[in-house]
Structure 1
Amino acid sequence: MIFSTMHVRCISVAVRLQRQAALFQLHTKLTAIYFFMLLILSCQLSIAQSSRLVSGVVKDSAGIPLPGVAVTFKNSPVGTYTDSDGKFSIPVRKSAKHLSFSFIGFATVDVAIPESGDMTIAMEEATSQLEEVVISVGSRASQRTITDTSLPIDNISVKDLESTGQLTFDKALQYRVPSFNTVQTPVNDATSLLDPYEIRNMGPSRTLILINGKRKNSSALIYTQTSPGRGESGVDISAIPVDAIKRIEVLRDGASAQYGSDAIAGVMNVILKDDTEGGSVTLRTGITSEGDGKMIGVSLNNGATLSNKGYINYTIDLSKTGLANRPGIVDAEGEASDFGADINQVKAFLAIKPDAGNINGSPETTASKFLVNGGIDLDEHTELYYNAAYIYKKVNSFANYRTPYWRPTDYGLLTPAGQQYLGYLPTFDGDLNDYHGTIGFKTNKNGWKTDVSFTTGGNRQLYTISNSLNRNTTGLTDSEGNLLYREKSPIIFRAGGYSFSHNVGNIDISRSISEKVSVAFGSEFRSENFEIIEGDLASYDAGGADSFAGNSAENSFKSNRYNFGGYLDFGIDLTENFLVNATGRYENYSDFGDAFVYKLSTRYKFWGDKITIRGSVSTGFRAPSLHQINVQKAQYGFVPGEGIQVSGLVNNVSPQAKLIGVPKLDAEKSANISIGIGAKPGENFNFTVDYYNIKVKDRIVLGNDIGPSGNPDASLDKVLTSNNIVGLSFFANSVDTRTSGIDLVASYKNIVIGSGTLRFNLAGNYTLENKREGRVKNPAIIAEAGQTVLNATQEALMFSSRPKYKVILGADYTLGKFNFTLTNTVFGPTKFRNAGMNKNLQIEFLTKAITDLGISYQFNPVISATFNANNIFNVLPEWKFASLNAEGDAILNDPAAVKVQSNLITFNQRYSRMTYDGYHFSQLGTMFSMALNVKI
């Protein structure tokens, strides 16, 4: 049934011993980390003893004391705040030269520290400082503040990301951006290397990721499981070290006209740190409330000036996260039924392993991340800039435990001599290497700004299957005709993998022709390479390794393509308050042809610039990825009397696809509409509300498996039978979709409570519609056989498996050296139609609220510490069956029938928290983490 594609986790005796050894090593490393922390603390205390105390008072231009002013070392977040009388006191090292004073609504002041150590500071009001200027991802023509843009742009600081307490960049975004969703799938395989994510329910491949404004390479992996993002690939954003990030700009609007393919849902621009002072070492550790998932990590971020003409900032991040396991108690009756096993044998095994040896949850992950960002002024008009990163990840996860009533023997290969055979647990190890780099020149001469750059990047993944075997009776034989598998099978298999790389050249030129007119134009050339890497012969021959077949020789090859594009952008201020922006772009791809897209956006400000009305209309496109065009993974099975037959994923240029009339892939085309309002009634309060409507035509999907219809006279059955094909799936431009919704972002700052200040943030996303429009575009031969490439499970996966709404309400309170954050994230309901369940039912995940608490304390200008408790009330996903009609009602009124359906979608309760194919927020429960930051 589903056993050839499922990957349930359990452990043999040998593997358990390995895990115990690994836990001992982890404990040893954790102890070493703590000793290292104490060593640094003692060093820093000695530094503090050589410091002096500087104190003073901060006032406004009228001489009134200012409470809550941030007092920090120049270009560093380390420092203190003024009290209710505007006074401050801070120990500083003797080598420190300057202090920086900043406060919302006032111009930042940098002041040299006097010898006396006594300071009186006057700060001037500056309304222009109320909005942080960002590198605008909304227009290529000019830079504008957030309130001036004609498009919705979120500006998220690294402090906001760190305050979540999440371990990786993608998980931090989950709890800061309401339309951003990602989840760790309970069944992993290659998906364990990077989790799928999406903005506005559009999948990972429709959000363009930029690093300092330049395109980041895609991952080599394409998701083929029944998980969010199925049939797509995305950038491995979890690989970006948070300590290297200065801020994130999220453009929540289609931007193909500005940036080309992949920007249908929006653009995420990661701005890297460029500090030359204020480096730090951060030590992190964490654990779940169930005592697993232990994490240890150390990160260094530092910077320096280069001969007063340039800068360099670098980050090194090393971490290891242990396995977190969340299996369910397996139902014996369901097991006996599914496997045709004797109930007594099943019960005897489950008495030893009640969870059937399952290991499913969060895999063990080790990561090393290196990043550098820098620039140098070549002369007064020209700057050379660069950045580069290398990331290595090692992920250890597991497949479905092979119970003794599922796999009656391991042919003596996996069970230690003299021990009882209890089945075996195949492991899945993934090695990921990801790199990117950019070098470029910026010039500003005679009003013309020119940016010329070259970007390269790549992602390579290799997979290893261990504690498994090739069980098949067909395949290779030796010179005497003896089979090389079963009892002669290897137990470790190199299953191959995937590799993707690109090279990108950009030329961007802009100028303000007048105070009211700006223009920008440029071009991009990009070449892409994709490789399917062959596995060991034994990993795929005659069915391959039990649990995960490797890439076969005939399905392993290299492919490449290139594209050239150009754009033209105009921005016109028709009046002081009325802006109109227009962009057009032309692209030519070597493998599918041309695309032309455009965008018109506008905004109008009134009531003293306190209210902004904005809107945009645009067209967009997404080129089919090389992964979607070329991935082919055949699975071979022996049918008695009929020989070897083929099933699995076939690419669109394969003979099998041509037999059933599958056309070559074309680009997706989109039409985006966005209307919004932004308001800033006061200095401390602002909000935006934006409506979006995205229509995608010819959306590319990976369909479900197509097999014979059962009618021997049907053309489909004749084609499949005559070519020994038992079933296949493929990519196709199968559907048109529409997605619409509302985004809300609001903030209220500087609420004085006692001696501290309070800030509220509210962000929400509500999906109005996410649906298919029109019929599924099935090849004629499939439609005639009464089949479809998009069944109920796939439709639910695309349209209802993400939260209907998500709301994030956070409070941030600063009191002296303390900072407290309390965030509630509400995940709205989701609906799913699991494979195998009765067609008259669906499952619904209930609305849940997750509460996170963070506390940080600034010991002195050098040392600070943060404690986070995520999901403090241990809220877990909860689902229920829902009836679709009277037949469904009858099932729900029959406890025995309900149990059957429950076993079907949880693999007999192995995945009772999440169901086998349904996903929601994390299933790990409460998590605790601590971080110690030491200024260097």
Structure 2
Amino acid sequence: MGAGDVVWAVDRAVQDSKVYYDRPLEELLRIETQAKAEVGSRGGSRDALDAEVPIDVITAAQLQSTGQSSLQRALTMLVVGFNAPRPSIADGTDHAPPFTLRGLNPDQVLVLVNGKRLHQSSLLHNNGTVGRGSSGVDLDTIPLYAVERVEVLRDGAAAQYGSEAIAGILNIVLKGYGYGSHATVGAGRTTKGDGTQRHADVFLSQPLAGDGFLNLTAALHDRGPTNRAGPDPADGGRINTHFGDADTQDALLAIHGELPHGDVTPYFHVLHDTRRSSAGAFYRTANSDRNIPAIYPDGFLPLIEPKITDTTATGGVRGLWADGTRWDWSLTHGQNDYHFYVNHSLNRSMGASSPTSFDSGATRYTQQTLNGDISKRVGRHYWAGGVELRREHYRITPGEPASYRLGQDLPWYAGSQGFGGFSPENAVSATRDAYSLYGDWKYSLSERLSIDTAARAERYSDFGSTLNGKLALRYRANEDTLLRASASTGFRAPSLSQSHFSSTASYRDGDSLMTFGNYGVDHPVARALGATALKPEESQHLTVGIVLQPSSQLTASADVFWTDIADRILPTGYISAGSLQSLSPQAVEILRQHGVEGAVYFTNAIATRTRGIDLRLEYRQSLENSARLKWVGAYQYSKTAITQVNPAPSVLGVDMMDLILEPFVRVLIEGAQPRDAFKLWTQYSMRDVDVVLNLNRFGKYSSTANYDKVTFAARWTLDAEVAYRLAKDVTLAVGATNLFDAYPQAWGETGAKSVISSGDIVPYSQYAPFGYNGAYYYLRLTVGW
């Protein structure tokens, strides 16, 4: 086992004193020190439970006990308030599903790797899924077996870390010094006989001089598709649609190293993922006017099959001056390339000459970040500060002509079906720079009371400057009770994809050529229709909590939180004379002059308020015969409400409620994510056996059908794993996720029909928080050396 493995406590005095030299070896091996966290302060690692803000620490042992090879799915099972549905028939989102925290958006969570900002995906989630209109981080580009722990900061922290840190922060810490090498193979499948998963992971660790190390993780993951689609009555009752997980293969690599030399330590980490994935669009029946029977006599299912490559490389050096001042300089380069390919499809407008496979173009996002940090402890106090220079680049490259061209065969729509290609008119190359100056000061007024303050000034080349601050208080009322509170302002810069995304298509209307689709806010059509440069989302955050530690075995905490966000960015509804009956004559004329049937662009539309509570309970006990028991229970309730709707551009002649808040959008923001969640993770360890049970409750959530709100019932799931040590360094694990084969409530059980299906072809809502695969059983073998 590695240096991050769990060890167990004997008594409070031992843990508090941190002086172990006179204790017997067998007793030392049973001591569990508090989990350490780097995130939330620039003063270095500290006890997570003593922090001024709520921080959860998820260990490698917990992540691996979920039986998942995907980091995102493992966190879904362990972190309360972490929501990651598995959408289907949602274009690119099928292949890189987003995640959320505290019911907010994917782009309102900042992700760090070893404390360094991780870049977002270039994919803009542009369908009706959770996270619509955002670009988030793809966590599955990080090999699970490279991770030592995940620190979850549940607090606004933009004043410390910059844009996106509104809902919280995930800091993914890679394994460092002291881990042994090991290889892991695993396989499993669902009780329906599909969704077969296979993975092989190798972790190699080479100690270097002076507590240095070089770690390498390589992984191959093959996650087979699942399908829960129902029969299509329009096609003789056949199951012709794919509704389930995509068929995905990942090749992942992580390299992490440090080489201390006196008071100076060079360090680096590299992450790389290449993913191929396949999922279906809607089925085209044989007699559909979208089909060409000469090509597909029985109809066809277009397959969206992207190739995704993602790379992060960080290099830096940190050190300690003679006066105790710590410094750290680093440079991080990150890039995500999402290349769309469509197969088993056709361009209907090209007739029988249409190809059946298409290169539909690509999006790419690149980010370079230069950081310089400095900190010093002065008595009980410390101060820290730094600078950050960041450059971002977003690009759309066109597909091959057949993927977007409008042929002469019929008055029909242009491009490949399933996912129409980006045209040369959609090509984008947008860059911006951001410059930050920040400071963090902690004053320990006494051993019981400390005040932590932070401020950050940023300037962006595209929208201007922001200034944010944070104040946190920590008061230890007695040995067993810690009171904490924080108040902060924050922001999220509009993503380059929100400002510049463009995807349009054309069709023939008699002798006229008409265009429709999404336009960047600087496009002439969008500007004529009232679009303006996007402003940052601005937030105010408050957290008040208490931590109780009545013994070394038991810890409990409760934190109430409140987050207001102004100027949240959303895509408009479809701006056309047909969809907006009250559209002004001036706007109708603008559309006609540009040859546009309808348009969508992004705008600062609404304000929201999120309120909730986090509860956490941790208990551990040493039993007879070296057995150990640990419980970690957590509950979260959160509610988001729209509190303000900004005015719509006057040129449109419509109210913003009509432009933005069609019923499904309001439900998506206020009700699509579970209102509450509960998790109870239990580990019972004996000499050669570990038993893990993970009980989950996913609360109610809502969707819409025919403009009516539909609420789906809460569900319970139970995961279980038994791991047996066959030899000193050989462990075999058998387990199940969703052991009792629970499914989310179906559309039919609510009396409604799916909004994306006229019948029961799509039986479940895409918002279902634990998917709709049913039970999954697996085996895993780990060999160490």
The question of a shared fold, defined as TM-score above 0.5 by the shorter chain, is answered with yes
Mapped contact 2:304–2:342 kept (Cα < 8 A): yes
Q: What is the SS of the residue equivalent to 2:292?
A: coil
1:520 corresponds to which of 384, 390, 404: 384
Contact 1:107/1:125 (CA < 8 Å) preserved in 2? Answer: no
The residue type equivalent to 1:907 in the other structure is S
Is the 2:613–2:637 Cα contact (8 Å) retained in structure 1?
Answer: yes
Indicate whether 1:621 and 2:501 are aligned: no
The residue number in structure 1 matching 2:528 is 659
1:350-389 superposed matches below 5 A: 350-351=236-237, 353=238, 355=239, 357-378=240-261, 380-389=262-271
Question: Which position in structure 2 is the counterpart of 1:736?
Answer: 607
Tell me which amino acid in the other structure corresponds to 1:774: Q
- SS of residue in 1 equivalent to 2:753: helix
Q: Which amino acid aligns with 1:405?
A: N
- How far apart are the structure 1 equivalents of 2:272 and 2:247? 20
1:247 counterpart = 2:149: yes
Q: Aligned equivalents of 2:360 and 2:198: distance in 1?
A: 30
Compare 448-457 and 782-791 and name the one that shifted more.
782-791
Letter in 2 for 1:902: K
Moved more, 587-596 or 140-149: 140-149
2:757 to 906, 909, 919: 906
Separation (CA, whole Å) in 1 of partners of 2:563 and 2:224? 40
For residue 644 of structure 1, report the CA deviation from its aligned partner: 1.5
Matched, 1:697 2:566: yes
TM-score when scaled to structure 1?
Answer: 0.79
Aligned partner of residue 852 in structure 1, secondary structure: strand
Aligned-residue offset at 1:777: 3.2
Aligned counterpart, 1:499: 364
Q: Deviations over 1:472-527 (max 9, x none)?
A: 1xxxxxxxxxxxx21111111100010011111000000012x2221101000000
Question: Could you tell me how far 1:792 is from its partner in structure 2?
Answer: 1.2
Trace 1:542-691 onto structure 2 (pairs within 5 A).
542=406, 543-608=414-479, 610-640=480-510, 643-691=512-560
Counterparts of 2:486 and 2:17 in 1: how far apart (Å)?
Answer: 33
Does residue 1:192 correspond to 2:43, yes or no?
Answer: no
AA partner of residue 601 (structure 1): A
Q: CA deviation at 1:813?
A: 1.1
* 1-structure distance, mates of 2:125, 2:433: 23
Q: In the alignment, what sits opposite 1:424?
A: 300
Residues 796-835 of structure 1 correspond to what in structure 2 (within 5 A)? Answer: 796-834=667-705
Contact 2:220/2:251 (<8 A) preserved? yes
- In the alignment, structure 1 residue 326 sits paired with structure 2 residue 244: no
Opposite residue 334 of structure 2, the aligned amino acid is: G
Q: SS of the residue aligned with 1:325?
A: coil
8 Å contact kept, 1:107–1:126: no
Supply the AA of the counterpart residue of 2:298.
L
Deviation (angstroms), 1:122: 5.9
CA offsets 1:188-237 (integer angstroms, 9 cap, x no match): 42112211111011111011110100011111101001001111001111
Describe the SS at the equivalent of 1:377: coil
Deviations 1:524-570 (A, max 9, x none): 00001111011001101121012211000011121111110010111
Which of 253, 258, 270 is 2:172 aligned to?
270
Separation in 1 of the partners of 2:653 and 2:677? 38
Percent of pairs with identical residues? 27
1:174 corresponds to: 76
- 3-state SS, counterpart of residue 218 of structure 1: coil
Please say if residues 69 and 221 of structure 2, whose CA atoms lie closer than 8 Å, have aligned partners that are also in contact: no
Counterpart position of 2:642: 772
Equivalences for 1:715-754 in 2 at 5 Å?
715-750=586-621, 752=623
Could you tell me whether the CA contact under 8 Å between 1:800 and 1:831 is conserved in 2?
yes
Consecutive unaligned residues in structure 1, runs of 5 or more: 1-71, 85-102, 112-118, 333-345, 416-420, 473-484, 883-891, 893-897
Question: Residue 683 of structure 1 aligns to which amino acid in structure 2?
Answer: S
One-letter amino acid of the counterpart of residue 869, structure 1 = A
TM alignment of 1:17-28, pairs within 5 A: none
Give the Cα–Cα distance (whole angstroms) in 1 for the partners of residues 100 and 653 of structure 2: 31
Give, in whole Å, the separation in 2 of the partners of 1:722 and 1:558.
26
Q: Which residue of 2 aligns with 1:453?
A: 330
In structure 2, the residue corresponding to 1:175 is in which secondary structure?
helix
- 2:488, 2:541 within 8 Å by CA — same for their partners in 1? yes
Q: Quote how far apart the aligned CAs of 1:907 are.
A: 3.4
Aligned counterpart, 2:35: 132
Q: In structure 2, how many angstroms separate the alpha carbons of the residues matched to 1:254 and 1:644? A: 49
The yes-or-no answer on 1:931 pairing with 2:780 is yes
Q: Which residues of structure 2 form unaligned runs of 5+? A: 407-413
Contact 2:98 2:137 in 1 (8 A): no
> Pairwise CA RMSD of aligned residues?
2.5
- CA displacement at 1:308 relative to structure 2: 4.5
Distance 1:229 1:675 in 2: 28
In structure 2, C-alpha distance between the alignment counterparts of 1:512 and 1:459, rounded to whole Å? 38
Q: Report deviation, 1:75.
A: 4.7
* Amino acid aligned to 1:302: L
**Which residue in 2 is equivalent to 1:37?**
none
The alpha-carbon deviation at position 141 of structure 1 amounts to: 3.3
Work out the CA distance in 1 between the residues paired with 2:30 and 2:72.
35
SS across alignment from 2:165: coil
Per-residue CA deviations over 1:841-870 (Å, capped at 9, x if unaligned) read 321110100111111111121200111111
Aligned pair count reads: 771
1:395 matches 2:277: yes
Corresponding position of 1:510 = 375
Aligned residue type for 2:694: T
Note if contact 1:853-1:870 (Cα within 8 Å) is conserved in structure 2: yes
What per-residue deviation string (whole Å, max 9, x for no partner) do you get for residues 582-628 of structure 1? 111100111111000000001100222x1110001100111111111
Q: 1:468 aligns with which of 345, 353, 356?
A: 345
CA gap 1:681/1:704 in 2 versus in 1, 3 angstroms: same
Distance 1:249 1:529 in 2: 28
Cα drift, residue 725 of structure 1: 2.0
1:529 aligns with 2:390: no
Report the alpha carbon displacement of residue 121 of structure 1 after superposing the two structures with TM: 3.7
Listed one character per residue, the Cα deviations across residues 336-389 of structure 1 (whole Å, up to 9, x for unaligned) are xxxxxxxxxx4xx415x2x2x1112011111100111111112x2111111111
| Structure 1 letter corresponding to 2:554 | F
- 1:42-81 aligned at under 5 Å gives the runs 75=3
CA shift in 2, pair 1:551/1:408, >3 Å: closer
CA distance in 2, matches of 1:691, 1:570: 24
Partner of 2:410: none
Change (3 A) 1:308 1:453: same
Equivalent-residue separation in structure 1 for 2:569 and 2:643 (angstroms): 14
Q: What amino acid maps onto 1:317 in structure 2? A: A
Q: Structure 2 residue aligned with 1:234, among 133, 136, 157?
A: 136
What residue in structure 1 maps to residue 631 of structure 2? 760
SS at match of 1:920: coil
**Does the 8 Å contact 1:109/1:123 carry over to 2?**
no
Q: Distance between the aligned counterparts of 1:593 and 1:874, measured in 2? A: 52
| Cα distance between partner residues in 2 of 1:105 and 1:227 | 48
Stretch moving more, 742-751 or 587-596: 742-751
Shift of 1:134: 2.3
Aligned to 2:409: none
Structure 2 residue 225 is the aligned partner of structure 1 residue 310:
no
Q: 1:139 offset after TM fit, Å?
A: 1.6
Over residues 419-438 of structure 1, what are the superposed CA-to-partner deviations in whole Å (9 max), with x where a residue is unaligned?
xx211121111101100011
Deviation at 1:167, TM superposition (A): 2.9
Distance 1:284 1:122, change over 3 A: closer
Does the 8 Å CA contact 2:307/2:339 hold for their aligned counterparts? yes
- Superimposed CA distance per residue, residues 239-267 of structure 1 (whole angstroms, 9 cap, x where no aligned partner): 11110000011111111111111111111
